[in-house]
Amino acid sequence: MTTPSAKPDLTTIDLDRPPTMAQFGGYIAESAPNFARLVFPFDLRWCNPRGSVQGGVMAVYVDEAVGYAMMATFPDLKTVWTTTSLTLNYLRPITGGDITAIGRVIRVGARTGYVEGEILDAEGSLCVKAVSGLLILKRPDAA
């Protein structure tokens, strides 16, 4: 029988390199309120049998990018959010080179947010266009 793990202490998480970013080798190339640009290296471990980046991996990249755009908008750790919807349109495959994921906060209300994301290949061609809905919350333990 396993014991449930303790709730993570958000003050000790490395926001510049959380586990997902470390796993996929990503880094923050640019960050400002309402915007983030992340870069991920192409890696065959994240590809489908045809050699292009698997769609679920690109969903992770977009979700990370919009999350960092939100973190740049709300850096105080008092506001948290969770993705309620994520829709991706795959426009072209990525088969090599660095991958850029861009996140933009379009609108944040009292309880919901609307964000958009893009994935570009190494040549700067648009490969994925995404939209996402967020539920905005205040941390119960935030002062």
Q: Which residues contact 137 (CB under 8 A, 6 or more apart)?
A: 79, 80, 81, 82
When pLDDT is cut at 50, 70 and 90, the band that residue 20 belongs to is confident
7 in a structural domain? no
Rounded mean pLDDT of 23-38? 95
For residue 82, the tally of other CB atoms under 10 A from its CB is 9
pLDDT at 68 over 90: yes
Tokens linked to 51: 């050699």
For residue 10, the tally of other CB atoms under 10 A from its CB is 12
If one counts the domains in the chain, the total is 1
110 in a structural domain? yes
Dist. CA 6–CA 11, nearest whole Å = 14
Predicted local confidence at residue 60, as pLDDT: 96
2 in a structural domain? no
Q: In which domain, by residue range, is 102 found?
A: 20-138
User: Which CATH number do you get for residue 38?
Assistant: 3.10.129.10
82 in a structural domain? yes
Least confident of 93-97, 108-112, 139-143: 139-143
Dist. CA 138–CA 127, nearest whole Å = 34
Which position has the higher pLDDT, 77 or 94?
94
If you compute the radius of gyration of the chain from its CA atoms, what whole number of angstroms results? 16
Residue labelled with tokens 């002062």: 143
3 in a structural domain? no
4 in a structural domain? no
Dist. CA 11–CA 115, nearest whole Å = 25
Tokens linked to 48: 């489908």
pLDDT at 19 over 50: yes
pLDDT at 142 over 90: no
9 in a structural domain? no
What average pLDDT does the structure give for the chain?
Answer: 89
Predicted local confidence at residue 2, as pLDDT: 47
Predicted local confidence at residue 55, as pLDDT: 96
When pLDDT is cut at 50, 70 and 90, the band that residue 75 belongs to is confident
pTM of the model: 0.85
